[in-house]
Amino acid sequence: MDIKLKSKIKNYLTGIWGIEILIFLFLVPTIFIGYYQALNNEFVEIGAGTFDALLNKEKYIKGMIYYESKDISEYIYANTNNLEDISDIKYDNERFIGPSNYSNIFYILINKKTGEYTTNDQDLFESIPYESKTREEVEKKTEEYLKEYDFVSVKIDNEKINNYYVKINSDNLKKGNIEDYIEIYYRHPSVYFYLIKTESITAKVLIGATILTLILFLKLVVNLLFYRKNLHLEIRVFKNLFYVLKYGLKYKNTRNKILLSFGIAIGVILIYLYLVAGIRNENILVTFLTRYPFKGTLILILIPLGTVLYSLKKSLDISIINDGLKKINSGDFDYTLDDIGEREVRELVENINKIKTGYKIALNEQVRNEKIKTELISSVSHDLKTPLTSIINYVNILNNKNITEQERIDYLRILEKNSRRLQSLIEDLFEVSKLNSGKMKIEKSKLDIISLIYQGVGEYSSLYEEKNIEFKVNSNAEEIFVDLDGKLISRVFENIIVNALKYSLANTRVYIDVIDKENAVEVVFKNIANYEMNFNAEEMFERFARADKSRNSSVEGSGLGLAISKSIVELHNGSINIEVEGDMFKIFIILPKQ
């Protein structure tokens, strides 16, 4: 499972959420009312309750036949004086109905003593021989007929049980010789298929809602005991609803969709209720609406409302994002898009904000590069002009025949010094250009980095002897071999050693720590500066940057040493950083071993 998904699941399980509390508060009374309605009504007593439809379909169908036989029983009893004389309806041909009409309830009344019978089912009437006079023969033929047509029947002996009409009117009826008759009511089970499906769904929903309520209750209790701090009472559904209602009419796109969606939803509800509501036995939803009008109306309202909300939320998010993009496009790079919407929209907002931030950084970098270019041109012009002007001036002086031989020698020495300085500066410029162009090729070999450091210290420590600078090299290993370009890395160490000699306080030490690590070597140079270090450490790696910030400094240098060192280290896939602590100047170089 994805780590991010695991984190989301854990965050959900160890927290209390507003929507859970709302669902729990909604489910508790709903379940109570649901169970009360399902278990406390006349249908439960006769075996036609909601859970009977789920658990025992045959029992449910018999219960419904028993219940729905009330009207036809009332007709029979009214026309036979409570079964005093069934001959009044025996030959009433207008009441004969064929078994193909499954929507009606059929009946047969049988006299227990004489075998006399009457029925409203013509096919059953014709299947029983007229000369059959015994109760057993009539019952046998009836059972065969019911089995042939797959009818479900309810048999009432009028001794232990009466029909539903008699049951509910027993106090007002003269029972007379009712006990002399057997009543059989029957119907095809397909009539109840949709009703069974509706009631089964209701039962399953109640059971599912009960399980969900128990799970929510346990989760709320556990989290109240152990994770009470992780409480989120905000309900996103309502937040989204208010969000749509607040901003939806502001934008033309969403405004039109709101009006159209609500119009269509209302139209669908009206058309469905008025045109289809009469087809109860052929439509599961209409059956449900007829039996549970309040729940059905609530569902009809919530479904289109939820659909409209879901569709409009994304359209509204896009409109708001588009407004934000217009602000950003106008140059307001400080504007940040709000983290809104579902996961996909939030990812879009996050990516747009990242692009904006990256563009802002790139723009600032471009401005900075332009500034550096301007400073570079100014610096190059100054640093090249100074020795070049000196050379030109001294050449003019040398052309003067009135100078002495000693003066000529001194001037030639100055010319040589300035020429070398100019040469060094031009070489450094070419080297920086070559390093930054990516054309520099490095040739690595196994070298002892400690030996390279000692070599640099030995070669340049004699410079600035009057400052009495002492170098201290410390290492946790006698030899550390690394794949390096010896010439280039030596140049790095030389530049840093020379800088340390130039800018260190007199009569101090320069510490060089070499640390052998598992995958890399770290070299740290530390010295006490002879000036106030009020600069940005990162600026020291820029071209022509000098620590003393003065172009008129008596300390010579092109200002390119650290820039060259940084480029060389990065060519070796390493890193170089500067830290300043008071007067302590530190350079950290990390070189990978491979």
User: Which DSSP symbol is given to 506?
Assistant: T
Yes or no: say if 155 and 83 are a contact pair by the CB < 8 Å rule: no
Which of helix, strand or coil describes residue 31?
helix
What distance in Å separates the CA atoms of residue 560 and residue 565, rounded to the nearest whole number?
9
* Residue owning tokens 């002086």: 397
Closest by CA to 205, choosing from 34, 366, 18, 28, is 34
What distance in Å separates the CA atoms of residue 261 and residue 304, rounded to the nearest whole number?
8
The gap between the terminal CA atoms of the chain, to the nearest Å, is: 35
Instruction: Output the CA angle 193-194-197, nearest 5 degrees.
Output: 85
Continuous segment of H or E residues that includes residue 524:
strand 520-528
**What is the number of other CB atoms lying within 10 angstroms of the CB of residue 63?**
24
What distance in Å separates the CA atoms of residue 264 and residue 156, rounded to the nearest whole number?
52
What distance in Å separates the CA atoms of residue 223 and residue 13, rounded to the nearest whole number?
8
Residue 469 identity (one-letter amino acid):
I
Closest by CA to 444, choosing from 400, 487, 504, 410, is 487
Instruction: Report pLDDT digits (tens) over 63-105.
Output: 999 998 888 888 888 888 888 877 766 544 444 544 444 457 8
Total length of the chain:
594
Q: How far is CA 379 from CA 236, 349, 418, in A?
A: 60, 44, 17
Which of helix, strand or coil describes residue 119?
strand
As given in the structure block, the two tokens for residue 432 are 């920086």
pLDDT for residue 92? 43
**What is the number of other CB atoms lying within 10 angstroms of the CB of residue 253?**
14
Residue 237 identity (one-letter amino acid):
V
Report residue 584 CA to chain centroid gap. 49
Which CATH architecture group holds 442-592? 2-Layer Sandwich (3.30)
Yes or no: say if 145 and 124 are a contact pair by the CB < 8 Å rule: yes
Q: Which residues contact 346 (CB under 8 A, 6 or more apart)?
A: 339, 340
Continuous segment of H or E residues that includes residue 128:
none
What distance in Å separates the CA atoms of residue 438 and residue 519, rounded to the nearest whole number?
25
Query: Residue-wise over 420-452: b if at least 16 C-beta within 10 A, else e?
Result: ebbeebeebbebbeebeeeeeeeeeeebbbbeb
pLDDT for residue 553? 40
Residue 349 identity (one-letter amino acid):
V
User: Which DSSP symbol is given to 470?
Assistant: E
Q: For the chain, what are the domain ranges?
A: 3-39+196-232, 42-187, 236-329, 442-592
Going across the sheet that includes 181-187, the strands are 117-119, 106-111, 181-187, 152-156
What distance in Å separates the CA atoms of residue 219 and residue 16, rounded to the nearest whole number?
8
Instruction: Output the CA angle 315-318-324, nearest 5 degrees.
Output: 145
- Within a 13 Å sphere around the CA of 591, how many CA atoms are in the beta-carbon half? 31
Yes or no: say if 531 and 454 are a contact pair by the CB < 8 Å rule: no
- The structure's pTM equals 0.46
Q: How far is CA 417 from CA 310, 405, 407, in A?
A: 80, 19, 15
Yes or no: say if 568 and 557 are a contact pair by the CB < 8 Å rule: no
- Within a 13 Å sphere around the CA of 431, how many CA atoms are in the beta-carbon half? 20
Per-residue pLDDT of the chain (594 residues), as tens digits, is 567 677 777 777 777 777 788 888 888 988 888 888 888 888 888 888 889 999 999 999 999 999 988 888 888 888 888 888 777 665 444 445 444 444 578 999 888 888 888 888 888 888 887 666 688 888 889 999 999 989 999 999 888 888 888 888 877 777 777 888 999 999 989 888 888 988 898 899 899 999 999 999 998 888 888 877 777 766 666 666 666 666 666 776 667 777 776 777 677 666 666 655 555 444 555 555 555 555 555 666 666 666 666 666 666 666 777 777 777 777 776 777 776 666 666 777 777 777 777 777 777 777 766 765 665 555 556 556 667 777 887 788 888 878 888 888 887 888 887 787 777 667 766 666 666 656 667 788 899 999 999 988 888 877 788 888 899 999 988 899 998 888 888 888 888 998 888 888 999 999 999 999 888 999 999 999 887 776 665 555 554 444 444 444 444 545 577 777 888 888 888 999 888 888 888 999 999 987
The pLDDT mean for the chain works out to: 77
